[in-house]
Amino acid sequence: MVKNGQSFINSSPRLFPPLNDFACPYRPYYVDFAGVDDDDDSLVYTLVTPLNTTSSEALPPASPGPFPLVIWRPGYSLSNIINGQPDLRISKDGLLTATPRTQGLYVFAVRIEEYRSGEKIGESRRDFQMLVVDACPQADPPQILGKKLTDSDFNYDENMSVSFTNLTADDNRCIQVRVSDPDASKAEDNFTERISIRAVSLNFKKNVSEVLPEITTATLLNGSTKDFTICFPRCPYFEGGPYQIGIIAFDDACSLPLSDTLKIEVNIEPPPNSNPYFIDPVQPVLIIPQINEGASFEREFEARDNDGDELIVSVTTDGFVLAGCGISGEIYEPRQNGIVRGKIKWDAFVTFIILPTATILEVKITVNDNDVCDFGDPVSAAFRFSVNLPHNADPVIDTDLTSDPQERQVLNIQRRVNESLSFLVTGKDSDNDFLILDLVQRDSLELYGISFPPVTGNGLVSSRFQWDITCGNIDLKKKSSFLFKFIVVDNANKCKFYKADTVDVEVKLLPPLNAPPQLTIQQGASVINDQTVNFTLGESIQFLLTGADADVSPTQDLLSLTLIEASGNVTPTGYSFTPVTGKKSPVQTTFSWQPDCSIFEKGVYENNYVFKFRLADDRCFAEKADTVTVNITIKDIDGSDTAFLPPNVITPNGDGCNDYFALEGISPCSFNADPNQNPDQQISLPLDNCISRFESVKIYNRWGGEVFKSTERTFRWYAPDQAAGVYYYVVKYTNKEYKGPLSIRY
């Protein structure tokens, strides 16, 4: 990883020892959850809601995140994880504690935040399960008591305070502790109990295990006790007062050792030590008069320590490199404890490498004594060097986007996709120095189709920024605002004093203009957009769909004409529609449908349908569409017989009038029993439909004998060789019959 242009190295913390096997109701539970960070970053621990799986399976398959949080059962939450008293808690240092009350299997999660120099740089988390089961045998905790070396008995319980002067010998800077355990006197424990001790820091952070003896464990038999000697180092763990440590005694109870702690306040007088000091100069800061370029300066220094300690010298700056600025330091040899001599030298003939606008360089010499406890403050002296730099006018950068020659930012420049942006950038220098004009970052220019040639020259340089914005170069959904930083650098760089000027141009890209496409649906010559059209079963349904778009620059849009909805009280089937796409406007396709009786269901013979068509263009980031709906109503053929009036007389005498019996078509000179009927009226059978269809006609004589039969609607019976008289006809449909008399007259 890279941060602020520098490599950023970070190792994840190595986390957690495993949990103990189980916890027991009303028995304190604890575990040191602290991890180790190889980079010495600070780790902070908190409890968080555990993560759930994406599947409800007991052993779910591996799947990528993100993962949902678990849903707590009623009564449980992040503040009541195991229903403990106290409940599960973790310190910022990683000590997990709880006293469970209820048996069960509980889940919890620990978040570990990683900090460096006060800034959070990472985060880890671990999810765990804790089993609480009533399986812990009865046990008593151990007891630890303390005494000073001069005491006759162990009289200190829980708290103890000791003090030692700097004259106390190492063997006398000690106390003794005694550990006992009631379980060593119990038959059920075989009159045996194994104990151990551990030392922890209380009011500071440091490993204090050095105070313990070499052997820190013992086995108590038949109620015996064990004494341990605790010795403290000559130097306090920190400067400025007493420190506190805890000596903890543990037993071997299951599942977690029980413990007792003796808190000890230790006040140790450190060995005497005087701070080092400078002989000359005695003032903390030495101001060096301003020196013109080309001059030089040197000054000796001497520091001493009255204790005769080894002196350690360090030289620091306020951000520059000593050698790069012609400054050097020297420590004289041979060295001896208690005194150090050296020299600081500045050669102004050396070319300078300093920060922008800096004309004063500060060098600090720090001396620290290597005393026994490394206490006390180091002493320092500062040298401040000032130089008169040669005159060098600042370069100036400008664009022709505004009239301001001192512009630093040009904001709210807007262009649409398919438009162009062009402007001139100019750099000037009144000293006629060599200039370099460029963009600060060029790595994406070619990707976006941007041209800005870098240029160089003396005194005046110009280059044109050209951006022909097209769909193929950008993605407004990911990025629509662009910042271009232009820079002109004075390459004369006198004394390597950096001179440059910048101007920022912010460009906001907008979607292209787009005329919406238009969809027209025609039935014949009629436009039926968003209308309802009615059809009778048997009629052919034909629509012409035409999509048009007015956009032609820089290219015509790609049009797509599709059917996006086909619905009805009965799902439509059997229709024909072919989607079309094309860049040539207009695009056309047809919708056709020849439905049959299968479209009717459940005795309903009138269906309503909705067909929704969509015409869309592809103009990038500004796509538009036109949606047109056509409602179609299809009814069954009207099979009504209200106008069905069959003839009842024929005269087959060959005179051309009423020569045959028919029920479909026109029979000239028709003669009916009804004198008021038009003799030329068209005779028509009830129309066939999905309910009823013509099947046959039969004619019988008065004795019931069949004299004629036909399955044709347009039958003709000329009554050949039939005598005058009354006959009877039967017209059969799939669901009904028509009967009536028919007279033959000659």
Q: Does residue 286 sit in the same domain as residue 350?
A: yes
Q: In the chain, count of helices (H) and strands (E)?
A: 1, 50
**What is the sign, positive or negative, of the torsion defined by CA atoms of 484, 490, 493, 498?**
negative
pLDDT digits (tens, 9 = 90+) for 23-70: 889 888 888 777 788 888 888 889 999 998 888 777 888 888 888 999
- Does residue 144 register a pLDDT over 60? yes
SS3 715: coil
- Does residue 357 register a pLDDT over 70? no
Predicted local confidence at residue 218, as pLDDT: 95
Q: Which of 358, 388, 418 is the last residue of a domain?
A: 388
Residue 24 lies in a domain: yes
What are the backbone dihedrals phi and psi of residue 151, each rounded to the nearest 5 degrees, phi first? -80, 155
Q: Does residue 736 sit in the same domain as residue 647?
A: yes
Q: Does residue 235 sit in the same domain as residue 303?
A: no
Q: Does residue 74 sit in the same domain as residue 120?
A: yes
Residue 86 lies in a domain: yes
Q: Does residue 149 sit in the same domain as residue 127?
A: no
Out of 202-206, 391-395, 434-438, give the one with best mean pLDDT.
434-438
Predicted local confidence at residue 387, as pLDDT: 65
Tokens in use for 253?
A: 């109870």
Tokens in use for 700?
A: 């019988």
- Does residue 396 register a pLDDT over 50? yes
Residue 372 lies in a domain: yes
Q: Does residue 501 sit in the same domain as residue 602?
A: no
Of 46, 64, 44, 39, nearest in space to 54 by CA: 64
Q: Per the confidence metrics, is the pTM higher than 0.75?
A: no
- List for the chain the helix, strand, coil content (%; round to 5): 5, 45, 50
Residue 624 lies in a domain: yes
Give the total residue count for the chain: 746
Q: Which residue has the higher pLDDT, 497 or 265?
A: 265
> What torsion do the CA atoms of 44, 47, 52, 57 make, to the nearest 10 degrees?
110
Residues sharing a CB contact under 8 Å with residue 187, sequence separation 6 or more, in sequence order: none
Residues sharing a CB contact under 8 Å with residue 147, sequence separation 6 or more, in sequence order: 153, 154, 155, 156, 175, 176, 177, 178
Q: Does residue 242 sit in the same domain as residue 152?
A: yes
Q: How many CB atoms lie within 10 A of CB 359?
A: 15
Q: How many CB atoms lie within 10 A of CB 84?
A: 23
Buried/exposed 179-190: b ≥16 CB within 10 Å, e otherwise = bbbbbbbbeebe
Are 369 and 310 a contacting pair, CB within 8 Å? yes
Work out how many domains the chain is built from and give that number: 6
Mean pLDDT over residues 664-678, rounded?
Answer: 55
**Residue 746 belongs to a domain with what CATH number?**
2.60.40
Q: Which of 353, 388, 423 is the last residue of a domain?
A: 388
Confidence of residue 673 (pLDDT cuts 50, 70, 90): very low
Block residue for tokens 């004589």:
701
Which of 119-128, 411-420, 490-499, 546-555 comes out lowest in average pLDDT?
A: 490-499
Confidence of residue 643 (pLDDT cuts 50, 70, 90): confident
**Residue 430 belongs to a domain with what CATH number?**
2.60.40.10
Q: Which residue has the higher pLDDT, 682 or 98?
A: 98
- Distance between CA atoms of 520 and 628, rounded to whole angstroms? 8
Residue 614 lies in a domain: yes
Q: Which residue has the higher pLDDT, 563 or 679?
A: 563
Residue 137 lies in a domain: no
Predicted local confidence at residue 127, as pLDDT: 87
- Distance between CA atoms of 111 and 233, rounded to whole angstroms? 37
Of 261, 501, 205, 239, nearest in space to 377 by CA: 239
pLDDT digits (tens, 9 = 90+) for 704-728: 999 999 999 999 999 998 999 999 9
Are 542 and 522 a contacting pair, CB within 8 Å? no
SS3 171: helix
pLDDT digits (tens, 9 = 90+) for 544-581: 999 999 999 888 999 999 999 999 999 999 999 999 99
Which of 255-259, 549-553, 584-588 comes out lowest in average pLDDT?
A: 255-259
Q: Does residue 109 sit in the same domain as residue 154?
A: no
What are the backbone dihedrals phi and psi of residue 304, each rounded to the nearest 5 degrees, phi first? -135, 165
Q: Does residue 6 sit in the same domain as residue 118?
A: yes
- Distance between CA atoms of 164 and 417, rounded to whole angstroms? 82
Q: CB-based burial of residue 533 (10 Å sphere; 0-12 exposed, 13-18 middle, 19+ buried)?
A: middle
CA 363 to chain CA centroid, nearest Å: 48
Residue 691 lies in a domain: yes
- Distance between CA atoms of 630 and 611, rounded to whole angstroms? 5
Which of 361-370, 476-485, 702-711 comes out lowest in average pLDDT?
A: 361-370
SS3 149: coil
**Residue 597 belongs to a domain with what CATH number?**
2.60.40.2910
Residues sharing a CB contact under 8 Å with residue 582, sequence separation 6 or more, in sequence order: 558, 559
How confident is the prediction for the chain on average, in pLDDT? 88
CA 474 to chain CA centroid, nearest Å: 22
SS3 495: helix
Q: Does residue 128 sit in the same domain as residue 180?
A: no
Which range of residues forms the domain containing residue 578? 518-635
Residue 138 lies in a domain: no
- Distance between CA atoms of 735 and 299, rounded to whole angstroms? 128
- Distance between CA atoms of 145 and 152, rounded to whole angstroms? 13
Predicted local confidence at residue 616, as pLDDT: 96
What are the backbone dihedrals phi and psi of residue 598, each rounded to the nearest 5 degrees, phi first? -65, -15
Q: How many CB atoms lie within 10 A of CB 285?
A: 12
Q: Does residue 205 sit in the same domain as residue 260?
A: yes
Predicted local confidence at residue 474, as pLDDT: 87
Q: Does residue 404 sit in the same domain as residue 366?
A: no
Of 132, 133, 155, 134, nearest in space to 145 by CA: 155
Are 74 and 104 a contacting pair, CB within 8 Å? no
Are 205 and 94 a contacting pair, CB within 8 Å? no
Predicted local confidence at residue 672, as pLDDT: 45
Q: Which of 573, 603, 635 is the last residue of a domain?
A: 635
- Distance between CA atoms of 446 and 448, rounded to whole angstroms? 5
